[in-house]
Amino acid sequence: MTTTPITFDPRALRAPHPVPGAPDNWRRFFTFNTDAKVIGIQYIALSLLFLLVGGLLAMIMRGELITPPADLVDPSVYNGLYTMHGTVMLFLFLFPILNGFNNLLIPPMIGAPDMAFPRLNALAFWMFPVFGVVLMASFLVPGGPASSGWWAYPPLSTQNPLGLLINGQFLWILAVAISGVSSILGAVNFCTTIIRMRAPGMGWFRMPIFCWTALAAQTIQLAGLPVLTAGAVMLLFDLSFGTSFFQPEGGGDPMLYQHFFWFYSHPAVYVMVLPVFGFFSEIFPVYSRKPLFGYHVVAIASFGIVFLSLIVWVHHMFTSGTPQWMRHVFMVTTMLIAVPTGIKVFAWLATLWRGKLWLTTAMLFAMGGVFNFIFAGITGIMLATVPVDVHVGNTYFVVGHFHTVIFSTITFGVYAAIYHWFAKFTGRMLYEGLGKVHFVLTFVGAQLNFLPMHWAGLMGMPRRVASYDPEFALANVLASLGAFLLGVAMIPFLLNLVSSWVRGARAPANPWQAIGLEWLLPSPPPAENFEHDVPTVISGPYGYGLGHPLVADQERYEARLKEG
């Protein structure tokens, strides 16, 4: 902390989001604020809090699983814990934190002052604490929280053992439905903003890849979420009001729910991974000092993934009595996803090739994330193969696979994004040393946690068990140690976030010498970004080493940053 008065960019002082040293920094985060940058930080801070909740649940689970019998908690408690772990991590951590990045990054990256519908944006955010509280409250109701898994397959999820109207499963469905509505509102906003509010000169193929992937992901939300939300409402009616959409005794079919659920919930993985592909595509050029290899193809591949993601859901139902022809169709569509994702992975590797790599924490997390993603992609093809899935589906092989996607790829990408853009939106630099400690612990912890799970699954250990046969003990001990290491890895991370925000070095406008509209703004950017002086984009993104400016009068924008 410096004691001399800090000079601010005069526009930054008027910003409703935090400016280090400015008065009332905290208050604005607890109001119905319509500034996308405030909303972005609100999303990210609250979702990181829920990451700790979900991580704590995971560590109790791994404590239970470190020995074969169910001796730490009752099996019914374990089932509630794993259900809530999955739900918290997906609906209260990953979706909201990525929406936070959408809010922070989309307007500055395209030169827009804010989102298209700021009040709708704030409304979508404030539904997040509401369904967060609803879900957390389910720990307190009689009978405990939902314990039928995050799939909530009926008839198990509609059994309602205590016969109460307000029960854990009821609150769970309610929270998921509110979360769905919030995400649909967000998707309308993000799509409109990207389509309608780009800076002059920014044609589709001058748009940063993150905006491409965000648009692609939000398209999936618009196409898929109504289906899940409808399924959730029907489930709620089956549970509470005696309908029988999914009950065979009343002419319903539990398979119907599985279709509703997976039609959205498989693409949901792409909703999470596409923005992370965007992070990778932004971060590799910066720290390789090279243009993104094959920009056009990488951009279009995002929509290849969107299209395919909507026609693969039955691969979760290969053994549900699905007829052979349908298994074959969905096996082929699932495998085809390897093509557009492969295009992206190879493009990133080619971007690294002959670059001048800066191994910052953001770069390390991005490279680690891509390495893990290649591994997860290979096990994904294995799971898409019907005969192999018949053996390993619903085993720990699947648990290992999707944690390698959800944690070791998506969460790695989120960490990379935090290390890359923290300086831009808080005005403070993160400590690189703590960041590298965080990376090493996280990378080692993730491998130790998730690799042995694949082995346990191949041997036949089913997922979601509170106890298991002794032959799986070694794999589980290793996984538990990895999980605890991941818990330890949170310490340097949180220490870094808090201490940097409070007393980190002041961030310059462009600490990474990056190319992009957001780096032509002060750190943190003023309330309306470029206000009335929106630059005209004259070339594509990632012009590293090409020597041509990104915008007209670039010198003027750069000079103004130095004045501040």
Q: Is 335 in the site for another protein (CB under 8 A)?
A: yes
* Closest distance to another protein from the beta carbon of 335 (Å): 4
Rounded to the nearest 10°, the torsion over CA 495, 497, 500, 506 is 170
The answer for residues whose C-beta is within 8 angstroms of residue 133's C-beta and 6 or more apart is: none
Instruction: Find the binding residues for another protein in span 164-223 (CB under 8 A).
Output: 167-168
End-to-end Cα spacing for the chain: 19
- Residue from the set 67, 76, 499, 554 that interacts with another protein by CB under 8 A: 76
* Minimum CB distance to another protein smaller for 192 or for 394: 394
- Residue 288 interacts with another protein (CB under 8 A): yes or no: yes
By CB under 8 A, is residue 371 in contact with another protein?
A: yes
AA identity, residue 506: R
Asked if 464 touches another protein (CB under 8 A), the answer is: yes
560 binds another protein (CB under 8 A): no
Rule CB under 8 A: say whether 545 interacts with another protein. yes
Structure tokens at 313: 């859901």
* Contact with another protein (CB under 8 A) among 45, 120, 374, 429: 374
* Rounded distance between C-alpha atoms, residue 248 and residue 254, angstroms: 7
Shorter beta-carbon distance to another protein: residue 149 or 201: 149
Span interacting with another protein, options 34-42, 364-372, 418-426, 480-488, rule CB under 8 A: 364-372
**Binds another protein (CB under 8 A): choice among 357, 451, 473, 561:** 357
Which of 367, 143, 533, 451 minimizes the C-alpha distance to 522?
Answer: 533
Q: How many CA atoms lie within 13 A of 448 on its CB side?
A: 17
Q: Are 351 and 284 in contact (CB under 8 A)?
A: yes
Task: Enumerate long-range contacts of 136-142, CB under 8 Å, 24 or more apart.
Answer: 136/53, 137/171, 138/84, 138/168, 138/171, 138/172, 138/175, 139/84, 139/168, 141/166, 141/167, 141/168, 141/171, 142/167
Reference 105, options 220, 218, 211, 207; nearest CA is 211
> For residues 23 and 387, which CB has a smaller minimum distance to another protein in the complex?
387
User: Applying CB under 8 A, which of residues 25, 31, 159, 536 lies at the interface with another protein?
Assistant: 159
86 interacts with another protein by CB under 8 A: no
Distance separating alpha carbons of residues 106 and 7, to the nearest angstrom = 27
Q: Report the site for another protein in 89-108 (rule: CB under 8 A).
A: none
Q: Should residue 541 be labelled a site residue for another protein when binding is judged by CB under 8 A? A: no
Cβ(204)–Cβ(302) below 8 Å: no
Which pair of structure tokens corresponds to residue 222?
Answer: 């618009």
The answer to the question of residue 472 lying near another protein (CB under 8 A) is no
Both tokens of residue 279? 């992070």
Q: Does 67 bind another protein (CB under 8 A)?
A: no
Interface size with another protein, residues (CB under 8 A): 104
Judged by CB under 8 A, does residue 409 bind another protein? no
DSSP SS3 for 428: strand
The encoded tokens of residue 299 equal 């951009």
Q: How far apart are CA 147 and CA 128, in angstroms?
A: 22
Q: Which of residues 389-408 bind another protein (CB under 8 A)?
A: 390-391, 393-395
Residue range at the interface with another protein (CB under 8 A); choices 23-31, 144-152, 210-218, 440-448: 144-152
Only one of the segments 5-13, 50-58, 69-77, 403-411 lies at the binding site for another protein (rule: CB under 8 A); that segment is 69-77
For another protein, the closer of residues 226 and 543 by Cβ is: 543
Residues 482-521 that bind another protein (CB under 8 A): 513
Among 107, 108, 111, 145, binds another protein (CB under 8 A): 145
Could you tell me the smallest distance in angstroms from the CB atom of residue 426 to another protein?
24
Least distance (Å) between residue 95 CB and another protein: 23
Contact between 525 and another protein by CB under 8 A: the answer reads no
Contact (CB, 8 A) for 485 and 444: yes
Question: Pick from 72, 255, 440, 494: which binds another protein (CB under 8 A)?
Answer: 255
